[in-house]
Each structure stands twice: as structure tokens, then as C-alpha cells.
Amino acid sequence: MRRPSQSSEESISIRSWTVPDEWHDSDAGEVCSSSSSSMSIPNCPLAPSLGGSGSDIDVTLDVDDMMPSLVEQVSRMDVVNPEVLRVTPVFRALEHFAVALRFAADGDFYHKSRASTKISTFWSHSWHGGQWKKILTLVTLYNGTAAVSLAFLTGVLMMVLFSFGTLPGIDRGWWRPADWEWSCWSTSAGLVVASLVLTCWRSQTRVFLDCICISQNDDRLKTDAILSLAGLLKKSDSMLILWDPTWTERLWCLFELAAFLKSKTTQQQHLIVRPIFLGPLSIAIYLMFFALALPISTVPIRNATTIVEVLGAMVLSFLVVAFPTASTLRRYFRDLDTMKLQLLSISVDSTRSSCCDQDHVIPSGQRILCDRKIVKECVKIWFGSELSFENTVRTEVLDLLNRDLTEKVFSTPWALGVTSPLFLAFMDVSASMAPDPDDRQPALALLLEGLVVWLCYVPATKDLIILLVRVGRKRSRSTCLEILKNTLVLGAAATPVFVLLIAYGLTRFADPRHALRRAGIFVCCTLFLVVCNFLLGLGLKALLRRPGW
């Protein structure tokens, strides 16, 4: 199912409805099922009010009477029926191009789930955010580490095999002597392995995804699942929030977060927040680095013109990704500003819920119960009062979302992962030099330089670039100024890269005959630049703490 407020066709909360015949035979206190596809919440609390009547006459209920029972059920944080505590492996949720996430309203995916006693990760998302962004973010989140790691290991294996002469090389028409062969194995095999693993990896992590783990066709199970929502969160080791600006506006998303915070009984229960654009962005940056790495290890270079052409193509592929990336990141940090304002003035009444959007009447004309009322009563029980819940959101939740979305999203492992193709190119060039005894030392020096750039300079520069984007996030008045601002941000972000290239060029003259000593000087320069980046970052952080920034 989609959660209660997310479907216009399948309203979960019902203000009044017609009671199907089978209810009349239900035992009081037992969960009841409904033949009406438009209902879900009503169940056992109502049974007594039916009085065990065997009448065939439909009975219209005043569902305001149901409220105390429903609230009591939800707020107890119990799983009312063990059958609804279900999980699905991540790969099942993502198979067939994540069909379950794309066509949740049109299909029944219940068969992809199975009963469990524990949920590893509860996925919380808004159905109003971008589908493909969400899917790609899940793919990179669950398959990305395996893809990058296996691509890297493949690169190392190829480098070793080529160095020992096991693999053939390609003639790129330059360097001495004429029969010089180049390795392109690490980069190309890395790309193939990364692509295959990213798309085919079968992550076994057991997750709860509403449209798979809640039955669409069995109203009794659907009802039980909704009543157990808080209980399901209590049984979850972690909660993954796939954040987009609509998430913070949705009543049920905040309800899930409130329930998770309330139900956290151990420190092992984690909250993970990721913006949904992170997946497409990570893939784009990873491919951009492959576009930079492939020419370094494959393109034949006959004369100076080809060098210019190759460099031109590399700069173009960089700009094609970098420009939209700068624009996306600036918009993201503006969205975070909006989120802060939203959460600071949050109230249960200001969130959006589709029941209210529909004015509590579904297309068939039936009136439906307002989800907001249930949520309000639950938060009163969990947090003491609505005000206390709102204060928790304005302080704890705001701090948590702000910290996670600002600092934890672009982590060091993430930066190393998306830039790893560059190091694969270093492996190829190094492996190409290794077979010649005279070039063994330069080969080793090159590998060392690549490793230091990748492991030290990339994370430090990433932090600086993110801070630069945050400083330049404000929107300009016109499109032209906006393009100019993106260009300026990009120029500022590219500066540390140029500084490093200059340092690399200059250190080539330091000790031309001793490659390892030269590499040592370059490593010292790189570490000095890392410290400079760090200090600049501290300055920018101080600037961002000032009012108006």
C-alpha cells in the first residue's frame, strides 16, 4: 500500500462507510476484514458497536466514535498481527527497474515480501518526490559500495597481471621506444565491473517498503499494517529517510519520524537521511571521472593536435557534468534553508495530508476519516502534548536533519567512491611503465602520487567545494546572473584542482633523475595544500555561521 495519506483512490481513513456483511459475524475484539477496497483502518474496535448483528442491512457508522480505539491501537506501538511484520530483500524491491516503486498503485507486490520478526531498515519516503531519483539513490546506496570496491579490486588485479606481462597492451603511438605498449585494463575493466555490479548486485538487506510489505488486496492485513505502523518502526534497526522537499511537508512522513524517535529503545537504532538527488548525482560524477580517466589510458596520441583534442574532450565532459552539479547542489542547499523555516514553524495542522486535500470525500462519494486527528491524538500520547511534539521537531528533528543532510551526505567514503576511476587511470599508466626495468621506480612513484591525491587531496577538496557551494547557494534575480553565479562557483571549486596541477608540474623539475624523491616532494606539497584547504574551510564555516549566510 501507499501509506494512509498517499493515495487518492485507496483512502485508508474513513469517516463513515457501509459495513460489509461479513463484519456482522465477526467476533468482538477480533480484527475484521472488509470487502470494500476503499477502507483499511476500521477493524476490531468497531466490532462491539456492531453488536453482532446478523442483519444484511448496511450500517453507516459515525467514525468519530472509532477515534479513541484507533488512537489507542496506533499509539500502543504494537504489531497487532505478526503477519504484517514483513520484510523484502533490497534486490526484490529494486528488480525489474524497481517496478514496485514506479507502479505502486497499479500492482500487487505483496508476494515479494515475507514475514519476519525484525526489520533491518524501514524506508520512509514521500510519494510526491521524483521516482527515478529515489530509485537511483537506493541503487547507489545499496549497490554502490560493492560496485566501487569490486571495480577497484579488478583494477588492482589488472595492474598486477599487466605488470607481469600476462595481458597484452595497446599501441598509442607515442613514448619511447616504438614498441611501447599501454595498459587500459584497469580503467576499462573497472568500468565494466562497476556497471555490472551496480545493476546486478543482489543486496540481501531486509527492508520494509510500504507498497511491497503491506497487502493491497487483503483489507484485513492492510488495516492491521496501518494500525501497526508505529510497532513496525519500533521493530526496525534503522530508518532510512529518502528526503526531498515534499517529505517535510507530509503529515505521515513526520508521523513516521515521530514514531521512530519515540520507539527508539536502543542506541543501535539508527536514522539515515539521504536526499533523493544523491543517486543520480553520484552516478553522473562517477561517469564523469571515467570520462576523464579513459582518454588518459586509451587514446592514441600521434601529435600535439591530438593532445589538444583529448584535453578539449576531457574539459567538455567535465563541464557537462560539473555545471548541472553546481546548479543542483546550490538548489539543494536552498531547499535545506526552506526546510529549516518549515520545521521551525511546523505544526501538525500545517502539514499536508491527502485526506484533507480531498476534503475527506473519496471519488465514490464516501466520507473518510481525517488522518490528522489520529496523528494528533498519537503525538499527544507519545509526547505529552502537540506543542511538545512540535518543539521536538523544531529542535531535535531539525538538528538531526540539518546535520545529516549538510555534513553526512557528502562523506569521505562517498567522495573516494565517485572519484575512484581517476586512480584506475593512475594504475594503468603505472602498469604500462612497470615492465621496463628503467621505469620501475617512476611507475612506483606515479602510483604513490596517485594514491596521495586520491586519499588525501580528494576528501579535503570535496569539503572545501561543498562549503563554497553553500556560500554561493542564494538564487540570483535573473537567469543570466544565475548562470554567471554557477560559473563563478564552478571556477572557485576548480581552483584547488588547478593549484594541485601546478604543484605537480613544478615538482617535475625538482629532481628529474630520481622519481621517488620527486614523488616525495609532491606528496609534501599535496599535504601542505590539504592543510590550506582545511584552513580555508574553517574560514568558510565561520562565515556560514554569521547571520544572513
Binding site for Zn ion (CB under 5 A): 353, 355-356, 370, 372
Least distance (Å) between residue 357 CB and Zn ion:
8
Tell me which residue of 423, 421, 459, 186 sits closest to 291, measured CA to CA.
421
Residue 173 neighbours by CB under 8 Å, 6+ apart? 300, 301, 302
Q: How far apart are CA 15 and CA 296, in angstroms?
A: 66
- Tell me the residue number closest to Zn ion, measured at CB: 370
Q: Do 239 and 256 meet the contact criterion of CB atoms below 8 Å apart?
A: yes
Q: Which is nearer to Zn ion, 335 or 371 (CB)?
A: 371
Q: Which is nearer to Zn ion, 67 or 444 (CB)?
A: 67
Q: Which three cell numbers stand for residue 485?
A: 553565479
Cβ count near 41 (within 10 Å): 27
Q: Which is nearer to Zn ion, 64 or 171 (CB)?
A: 64
Least distance (Å) between residue 9 CB and Zn ion:
16
Q: Do 74 and 187 meet the contact criterion of CB atoms below 8 Å apart?
A: no
Q: How far apart are CA 170 and CA 15, in angstroms?
A: 73
Q: Which is nearer to Zn ion, 372 or 473 (CB)?
A: 372
Least distance (Å) between residue 250 CB and Zn ion:
12
Q: Which is nearer to Zn ion, 198 or 348 (CB)?
A: 348
Q: Which is nearer to Zn ion, 222 or 372 (CB)?
A: 372
Tell me how many degrees the CA angle 255-259-261 measures, rounded to the nearest 5: 115
Least distance (Å) between residue 355 CB and Zn ion:
4
Least distance (Å) between residue 493 CB and Zn ion:
45
Least distance (Å) between residue 531 CB and Zn ion:
56
Least distance (Å) between residue 77 CB and Zn ion:
22
Residues composing the chain:
549
Name the one residue in this structure whose C-alpha cell is 511534539: 389
Q: Which is nearer to Zn ion, 14 or 32 (CB)?
A: 14
Cβ count near 177 (within 10 Å): 6
Least distance (Å) between residue 374 CB and Zn ion:
9
Output the 3-class SS for 102-170.
HCCCCCCCHHHCEECCCEEEEEEECCCCCHHHHHHHHHHHHHHHHHHHHHHHHHHHHHHHHHCCCCCCE
Q: What is the dihedral of CA 64, 65, 69, 72, to 10 degrees?
A: 50
Map residue 491 onto helix, strand or coil: helix
Q: Do 480 and 460 meet the contact criterion of CB atoms below 8 Å apart?
A: no
Least distance (Å) between residue 62 CB and Zn ion:
17
